[in-house]
């Protein structure tokens, strides 16, 4: 068994394990951390496939920035797992949800195994690299020439997302007093906690 | 050398776990993370084919998908904060404002 196979199996198992724990975990902070584990394992797979730059970007942007955003929100909402988040749908419906996922996987399995895809070429550290494939230079050349227009469009998308996020998460001043009054009808849990402290 | 099919199967498993997470979990933040998982599975397929066909375009697509995922996470989490402010819960079953 060569080094490539060992690296592939270890990172594939870690990626799948982390992904499974994300949806099994009750604690939301723990599931964010498991997702980071899964992403790092996927970055190893990227590197194995020769795309070094995208592996680095996956760790920096995804595991570093987006997951921290998730952690921020979880800590902002102060979730402590007190809420009952169990699935209370009837057993038939719950069974159907699992069945759909398994059927989807079987479907994909048959597509992958159909022999439509090239089976001979593959990844690996030992696999011979062709020139500068996957380097920053290679990606930048194609990104700023052929894909310049989509690249500029993503900057517009990011701008729209920033404005949208700020507008949505902002507390509306003119609207805040009625919402406080309606919330006062229910037992105000957060206010009680603050008074207790 | 590892055949490209092995990477495709890993991506399929990750995608199906993401689907199961969206369907099963009631926590809206975990559902978001499952969507990110599905996006990443698609990214892995793009990277694998980029390697198999020796074309860099797949990696540029992954770059764009990452950007879209970041935008989606920012807007989605802002929505979660707004919903939590109104409902004081992250349970997806209680976010049925638009149900008629």
Q: Render pLDDT for A41-64 as a digit per residue (tens, 0 to 9).
A: 999 999 888 888 999 999 999 988
Of A25, A39, A150, the CB nearest to B64: A150
> Please, how many CA atoms are within 13 Å of residue B39, restricted to the half-sphere of its CB?
23
Whole-angstrom distance, CA of residue A129 vs CA of residue A123: 9
* Bridge partners of residue B27, in order along the sequence: B91
Average pLDDT, chain A: 81
User: Each residue of B34-62: pLDDT tens digit?
Assistant: 999 999 999 999 999 888 888 889 999 99
Residue A191's pLDDT is what? 44
The C-alpha torsion from A13 through A16 and A22 to A26, rounded to 10°, is -60
Whole-angstrom distance, CA of residue B87 vs CA of residue B81: 10
Asked whether residue A81 carries a pLDDT value surpassing 60, the answer given is: yes
Percent of chain A exceeding pLDDT 70 equals 76
* CB-based burial, A134-157: b 16+ in 10 Å, e otherwise: bbeebbeebbeeebeeeeeebeeb
- How distant is the Cα of A195 from the closest Cα of chain B, in angstroms? 18
Q: Give the burial class of B43: count Cβ atoms within 10 A of its Cβ; 0-12 exposed, 13-18 middle, 19 or more buried.
A: buried
Q: Is the dihedral of CA B17, B22, B25, B31 positive or negative?
A: positive
Of A39, A112, A160, the CB nearest to B40: A39
pLDDT band at residue A118, thresholds of 50, 70 and 90?
A: low
Of A38, A101, A134, the CB nearest to B20: A101
Residue B25's pLDDT is what? 87
- ipTM (interface predicted TM): 0.93
pTM over 0.90: no
Q: Can you give the pLDDT of all 100 residues of chain B as single tens digits?
A: 788 888 999 999 999 999 999 998 888 999 999 999 999 999 999 999 888 888 889 999 999 999 999 999 999 999 999 888 888 888 888 888 777 6
- How distant is the Cα of B38 from the closest Cα of chain A, in angstroms? 10
Contact B43, B59 (CB under 8 A): no
| DSSP 8-class letter at A146 | T
Q: Which of residues 105-164 of A touch B (CB under 8 A)?
A: 105, 108-109, 112-113, 117-124, 126-127, 130, 133-134, 138-139, 142-143, 146-147, 150-151, 154, 157-158, 160-162, 164
φ/ψ of residue A40, rounded to 5: -65, -40
Asked whether residue A99 carries a pLDDT value surpassing 80, the answer given is: yes
């Amino acid at each position: 068994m060569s080094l490539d196979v060992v690296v592939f199996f270890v990172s594939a198992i870690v990626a799948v394990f982390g992904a499974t724990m994300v949806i099994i975990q009750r604690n939301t902070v723990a599931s964010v951390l498991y997702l980071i584990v899964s992403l790092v394992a996927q970055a190893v797979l990227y590197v194995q496939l020769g795309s070094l730059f995208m592996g680095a970007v996956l760790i920096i942007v995804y595991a570093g920035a987006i997951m921290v955003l998730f952690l921020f929100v979880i800590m902002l909402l102060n979730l402590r797992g007190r809420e009952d988040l169990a699935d209370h749908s009837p057993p038939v419906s719950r069974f159907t949800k699992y069945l759909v996922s398994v059927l989807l996987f079987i479907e994909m399995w048959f597509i992958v195994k159909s022999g439509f895809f090239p089976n001979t070429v593959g990844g690996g550290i030992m696999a011979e690299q062709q020139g500068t494939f996957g380097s920053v230079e290679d990606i930048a050349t194609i990104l700023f020439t052929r894909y310049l227009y989509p690249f500029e469009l993503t900057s517009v998308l990011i701008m729209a997302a920033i404005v949208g996020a700020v507008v949505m998460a902002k507390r509306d001043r003119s609207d805040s007093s009625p919402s406080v009054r309606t919330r006062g009808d229910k037992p105000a849990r957060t206010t009680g906690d603050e008074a207790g402290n | 050398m590892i055949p490209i099919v092995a990477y495709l199967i890993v991506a399929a498993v990750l995608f199906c776990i993401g689907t199961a997470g969206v369907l099963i979990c009631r926590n809206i933040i975990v559902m978001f993370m499952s969507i990110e998982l599905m996006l990443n599975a698609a990214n892995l397929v793009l990277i694998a084919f980029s390697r198999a066909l020796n074309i860099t375009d797949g990696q540029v697509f992954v770059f764009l998908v990452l950007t879209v995922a970041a935008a989606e996470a920012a807007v989605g989490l802002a929505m979660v904060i707004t919903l939590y402010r109104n409902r004081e819960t992250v349970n997806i079953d209680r976010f049925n404002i638009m149900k008629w």
